[in-house]
Amino acid sequence: MLQGAVRLLQRFYGYPSFRKGQEPIIENLIRKQDTLGVLPTGGGKSICYQIPALLSEGTTLVISPLISLMKDQVDALESMGIPSAYINSSLSSAETNDRLRKAANGAYKLLYIAPERLDTGSFSYLMESMYVPLIAIDEAHCISQWGHDFRPSYLNIVSFIRKFEERPVVAAFTATATPEVIQDIAEALSLKDHNVFVNGFSRENLSFSVIKGADRRDFITRYLSEHPEASGIIYAATRKEVDDLHTFLNRKGISAGKYHAGLDESERCAMQERFLFDDIRVMVATNAFGMGIDKSNVRFVIHHNMPKNMEAYYQEAGRAGRDGEESECILLYSSQDTQLQKFLIEQGELSDERKAMEYKKLKSMVDYCHTGRCLQNYIVRYFGEENDDTCSKCSNCTDETKMTDMTEEAQKIFSCIRRMRERFGVSLVAKVLKGSRDKRILELRFDELPTYGLFSRLPEKEISAMINYLAAEGYLIMDGGQYPVVKLTQRAAEVLAGREQVSRRAVKVTSAQHAEPN
Ligand code: ADP
């Protein structure tokens, strides 16, 4: 079935075969089934609709929100001799009309358009008179109100498709979709379950690390001096942090650029170009940087702060190693990042339902920072892929510190939480175990609990870290939004009953991981 498709792949693109994740999607589209392909950034989504487009009569429409990417794609197709064009707001009306006229005459195999274009009556009229076998929807998560990048214009796609006398096959793609988002897209486009392909989320050439409690600037300076040739991105949470870090690196003689929404457009463009052409080696940026950036030799992506959720993290980290070469994705975690993200959720004008969802996503992000499991595996499972493979190179897989038994500590923690009637957050539980004289503790008479002061010798931070670890491993749940309450799960009950053991890696302090000043 795929033979013709493979021939086109070899002839036009020069690649010998499809990737594992591409095959079922292309096969399904050739069978004229509507399809949702969930593939990671760099996974090769374009080929998934371009090849079926080449195998069909007529003009395939590609709906994409990324203006810069459209031009790149069209340039690439044209260089392969595939007639194609794009229509978006960067064109003059004369140019637009010229392309529309050519499109009406069937001059293009692929036509890229921005979703806003669908609103214009003349455009949908023209489309009705053309033969459109396939509509590809890029960044399909924009259709979901649960996605991180909802775009109202995407909602018009559904009514636009209905206008065709002969309904085109629909091929939707996204790199970042949780089960909720997938369901939303599938519902909006009336897709059946068996036409949804979640695949290839693991990126074998990426090594993930979470570094806790490091002095971030020390870490970054050391990393950059140990990798003097490597080009990479450092994401920071705020514009101010980007400015400060950028100044700091330049003072250290490191060729770094910066990028955030506070810079004017020409400055941003210039920085981006210089980074793309390796004129600067490191880009310090907020999350405004990167949508649609296709720089293949990004060797590392360091997160100076924890992002708001796994979707954002994987999308940003996934900009490393698009050329398939070994690359690193490092997250520098501090518990203050969680506070900042909670603050941002509270600041946003969100409905209660939406807020609860954002907190849930944040929780999974925090769990990523605390888990002892393979990080690559944690990520692919988060994105709904059933997979037990471990990567053998993330900071957890390569951690040689011995697993130590912490069943007794866990039992003490669970017992304390239960005695506090599962009504308080991590920090208060930690304070009780520490034996703090905090006013609130005395008021609530928690100093009379038998678990009070059981960990008096440990720093409070370490007690909190243990509780967070137990939550990441599924023994505890954090219930509620801004001030979550720690509760026990069934697994914790098993541990209390002596039926399950808990183990943890001994806390490791290396020279790069000095304690972070509070
Ligand atoms: P994305 O999923 O991010 O849109 P692209 O479609 O831009 O990814 O593809 C990422 C890179 O992978 C491109 O350089 C593309 O040419 C390459 N690629 C895609 N499919 C294959 C394949 N079957 N074999 C080898 N390289 C491929």
User: Is residue 219 very low, low, confident or very high in pLDDT (cuts 50, 70, 90)?
Assistant: very high
- pLDDT given at position 147: 66
**3 state SS of 89:** coil
d(CA 130, CA 103): 8
- pLDDT given at position 261: 92
HEC readout, 230-268: CEEEEECCCHHHHHHHHHHHHHCCCCEEEECCCCCHHHH
Lowest mean pLDDT segment, chosen from 161-165, 446-450, 514-518: 514-518
- pLDDT given at position 412: 97
- In the chain, the percentage of residues whose pLDDT exceeds 90 is 62
User: Is the CB of residue 174 below 6 angstroms from any atom belonging to ligand 1?
Assistant: no
* Number of Cβ within a 10 Å radius of residue 422: 15
Q: Which amino acid residue places its CA nearest to atom 3 of ligand 1?
A: 42
First to last CA, the chain: 61
- pLDDT given at position 291: 67
d(CA 2, CA 18): 10
What is the β-pairing status of strands 134-137 and 169-174?
Answer: parallel
The mean pLDDT value for 277-289 works out to: 94
Nearest CA-CA partner of 371 in 354, 394, 392, 353: 394
CA 26 to ligand 1 centroid distance, Å: 14
- In the chain, the percentage of residues whose pLDDT exceeds 70 is 97
The model's pTM: 0.68
- pLDDT given at position 509: 40
Q: What is the dihedral angle through the alpha carbons of 150, 151, 155, 161, rounded to the nearest 10 degrees?
A: -110
- pLDDT given at position 510: 37
Nearest CA-CA partner of 142 in 116, 187, 174: 174
- pLDDT given at position 207: 97
The mean pLDDT value for 421-439 works out to: 96
Residue that wins the pLDDT comparison between 219 and 116: 219
* Number of Cβ within a 10 Å radius of residue 248: 15
Residue with tokens 């209390």: 496
**3 state SS of 27:** helix
User: Is residue 148 very low, low, confident or very high in pLDDT (cuts 50, 70, 90)?
Assistant: low
* Residue 65 reports pLDDT greater than 90: no
Q: Which amino acid residue places its CA nearest to atom 23 of ligand 1?
A: 18
Q: What is the pLDDT of residues 16-53, one digit of tens each?
A: 999 878 999 999 999 999 999 998 777 899 999 999 99
- HSE on the CB side for 490, CA within 13 Å? 0
* Residue 305 reports pLDDT greater than 90: yes
CA 41 to ligand 1 centroid distance, Å: 9
Distance (Å) of CA 172 to CA 10, 29, 272, 306, 382 = 24, 11, 29, 29, 20
d(CA 315, CA 49): 21
- pLDDT given at position 516: 36
d(CA 378, CA 463): 24
- The pair phi, psi for residue 41, each rounded to 5°, is -55, 135
Lowest mean pLDDT segment, chosen from 257-261, 413-417, 512-516: 512-516
User: Is the CB of residue 18 below 6 angstroms from any atom belonging to ligand 1?
Assistant: yes
- Judge contact between 305 and 281, C-beta under 8 A: no
Q: What is the dihedral angle through the alpha carbons of 173, 177, 183, 189, rounded to the nearest 10 degrees?
A: -20
Q: What ipTM was assigned to the predicted interfaces of this complex?
A: 0.97
- pLDDT given at position 513: 38
Q: Which amino acid residue places its CA nearest to atom 13 of ligand 1?
A: 44
The mean pLDDT value for 206-233 works out to: 94
User: Is the CB of residue 15 below 6 angstroms from any atom belonging to ligand 1?
Assistant: yes
* Residue 437 reports pLDDT greater than 50: yes
* Residue 377 reports pLDDT greater than 80: yes
- pLDDT given at position 233: 97
- pLDDT given at position 415: 97
Pocket test for ligand 1, best of 7, 19, 64, 197 (most atoms within 8 A of CB): 19
Q: What is the pLDDT of residues 378-396, one digit of tens each?
A: 998 888 777 788 999 999 9
Residue that wins the pLDDT comparison between 67 and 131: 131
User: Is residue 514 very low, low, confident or very high in pLDDT (cuts 50, 70, 90)?
Assistant: very low
- pLDDT given at position 369: 94
As a whole number, the mean pLDDT across the chain is 89
- pLDDT given at position 177: 64
d(CA 161, CA 169): 9
User: Is the CB of residue 306 below 6 angstroms from any atom belonging to ligand 1?
Assistant: no
Residue that wins the pLDDT comparison between 127 and 9: 9
Residue that wins the pLDDT comparison between 122 and 205: 205
The mean pLDDT value for 137-153 works out to: 84
The mean pLDDT value for 190-195 works out to: 81
Pair of tokens at residue 375: 């990080």
Lowest mean pLDDT segment, chosen from 145-154, 211-220, 356-365, 500-509: 500-509
Residue that wins the pLDDT comparison between 405 and 294: 405
User: Is the CB of residue 44 below 6 angstroms from any atom belonging to ligand 1?
Assistant: yes
The mean pLDDT value for 67-86 works out to: 92
User: Is the CB of residue 217 below 6 angstroms from any atom belonging to ligand 1?
Assistant: no
**3 state SS of 317:** helix
